[in-house]
Amino acid sequence: MSLNRELAARFKTMATVLQLLGESGFKVNANLKVADVLDQLVEDVSTIDDATSIDGIGKGSATKIKEYIETGKMADYDALIEQIPSGLLDVLKVQGLGPKTVQRLWKEANVVDLTTLQEAIDDGRLLALPRMGQKTIDNIKDSLEFIQSSSGRTNIGVAIPIAESLVSQLSNLQGVTQCEFAGSLRRGCETIGDIDILLSTSEPETAIEYFCSMPNVTKVLVAGDTKCSVRIEEGMQCDLRVIDEEQYGAALLYFTGSKSHNVFMREVAIKQGRRLNEYGLFKDDSKDSTPPQSRGIEPIAAQCEDSIYEALNLAWTPPELREENSLDGDGIPSLITASDVKCDLHCHTTASDGTMSIEELAEEGIKRGYHTIAVTDHSQTQAQANGLSPERLVKHIKAIRNVNEQYSEITVLAGSEVDILPDGTLDYEDALLEALDIVVASPHAALKQNPDEATARLCKAIEHPNVHIIGHPTGRIIQKRAGLEPDMIQLFEAAVKHNTALELNAHSLRLDLRDWHIRSAVKHGVSIAINTDAHRPTDFEQLRFGIATARRGGLEPKSCINCFNANELSKWLNQKR
């Protein structure tokens, strides 16, 4: 784990422990924010002279960070975790159990981890506690079971089709006028905790009843007049909010989040003598705790999101940029969209481990209106993927050129996804690489290399005169494999110097580079390639996930080589020839 991530984990743990010890929520939030900031920081924090220069990190945290960098220890952290049993942190993850209750379970029922929690339920210790009834216990039992059977967050590639199916079912109900998903899914996060769906309808009861009784619902968690939550077979929680049409924009804004964006928006509102909530933006500078809409105050803006931003004198912010630290004051970038993409430069055929022939690949490209598609099968070291020997590659190049002759609508490039070997050399001789139209160099093995070796390895490939693109630079697989952790800044500088593009691999399990890599890469002036790495026709649909990640990173079409027209691309490729 990198230093930034190690530190982030420590601050997160400290926040949780502080919560359990009953410390002020503001202190807890401050620590969580430090964790968040460190998690998203591209530069190694040890290279930053004064950590307080980073927004969200104050004097106290900066001292702790410095101590950890210099000594590998953090006295305050050690002192904190000593104060509670370590297993108590897991107990806090049980849905329905918050810090207050966990503290009581610990002090009054000797619950120290998930096992003792189960024991306390079984032997009746829990039921004996005040304010602890059978229903609460049943809910805890159920959450415990869920924790044991679930892996936590769900990949966007799994969640989006489910969310879209839910939206389409609900949209068909009588009376429904608007319906869409919000939350982290709308912000394009790579994994999500739950699916949030918003809906306007003239028949709320019908919608809620339908939602709670869908065939894949395994449990109804909450069912009120305006909101209900269910757990579905796929293991996710889905929330439905029924919204008045006039307040739809305010609700969409609120339920899209992120939490920190909501806090930001509300603070802006307060400074202007207004109040923002999920029902609208209100003129209200009173200290009255009764919500303005309950006091008969009419909203200034509520029906659509942009009217609220406008009323607050803010530019409408695309959902993907509504995160902590997404914007750096340079205004809202003109984010890339899927329709800006005009080519795919990383695809496989049956020659290695794909299912499409060269012709089928070309047809798929034409279907999508691409001017160019690159055939980049695996190189010889990738034996398990049927990687091509030099002799096979020579024949393959000829076959690709033949196919290219057959099509006037699309250019089929002869390329290779050549392995970057652990020492940074490539899997084919230079002469063979020179014969290709395009070279995507990717790491596939030795992905546990230390950061220094990984940096040297990838930089060497970036500097190679025949390499156009570094494919999935870290090799991470979301929730499965951390991949390489090179010094990204060095990679970006080398990429700019040698005019080598770095790939954002669009596959929903890769999304590599990640959103915060892209943000930093863009600032450095790196050219980004967004490719699907298609092995079968349906893989082209993965482009949307790459686009979502790119947008989260603030990528504009001008920085993405897949948005070049045919001439620009050809010129760019030929710079390396």
> Least distance in Å: CB of 540 to DNA?
32
> Least distance in Å: CB of 354 to DNA?
40
**Residue number with CB closer to DNA (279 or 309):** 279
Asked whether the beta carbons of 438 and 345 are under 8 A apart, the reply is yes
CA distances to 9, 33, 461 from 14, rounded to whole Å, are: 9, 12, 40
**Residue number with CB closer to DNA (74 or 467):** 74
**Residue number with CB closer to DNA (267 or 298):** 267
- Alpha-carbon distance of 30 to 36, in angstroms, equals 10
> Least distance in Å: CB of 36 to DNA?
12
CA 367 to chain CA centroid, Å, is: 29
Burial class (CB in 10 A: 0-12, 13-18, 19+), 156: buried
> Least distance in Å: CB of 356 to DNA?
41
**Residue number with CB closer to DNA (259 or 536):** 259
**Residue number with CB closer to DNA (223 or 332):** 223
Asked whether the beta carbons of 348 and 536 are under 8 A apart, the reply is no
> Least distance in Å: CB of 275 to DNA?
5
Of 297, 293, 298, 315, the closest CA to residue 306 belongs to: 315
**Residue number with CB closer to DNA (209 or 430):** 209
The number of beta carbons lying within 10 Å of the beta carbon of residue 356 is 20
- Alpha-carbon distance of 506 to 472, in angstroms, equals 9
Query: In one letter, which amino acid is 530?
Result: I
Asked whether the beta carbons of 456 and 490 are under 8 A apart, the reply is no
**Residue number with CB closer to DNA (239 or 427):** 239
> Least distance in Å: CB of 393 to DNA?
51
**Residue number with CB closer to DNA (69 or 399):** 69
- Decide the pairing of beta strands 343-347 and 176-181: unpaired
The number of beta carbons lying within 10 Å of the beta carbon of residue 142 is 16
- Alpha-carbon distance of 124 to 128, in angstroms, equals 7
> Please, where are the H alpha helices in 125-155?
134-149
- Alpha-carbon distance of 161 to 223, in angstroms, equals 24
> Least distance in Å: CB of 278 to DNA?
6
Long-range Cβ contact pairs of 231-235 (< 8 A, separation 24 or more) = 231/146, 232/162, 234/154, 234/158, 234/162, 235/149, 235/150, 235/151, 235/154
**Residue number with CB closer to DNA (76 or 119):** 76
> Least distance in Å: CB of 309 to DNA?
17
Site of interaction with DNA (CB under 7 A): 24, 26-27, 29-31, 33-34, 52, 55-62, 76, 94-102, 130-137, 139, 183, 193-194, 196, 222-227, 237, 239, 255, 259, 262-263, 266-267, 270-271, 275-279, 289, 291-293
> Least distance in Å: CB of 187 to DNA?
12
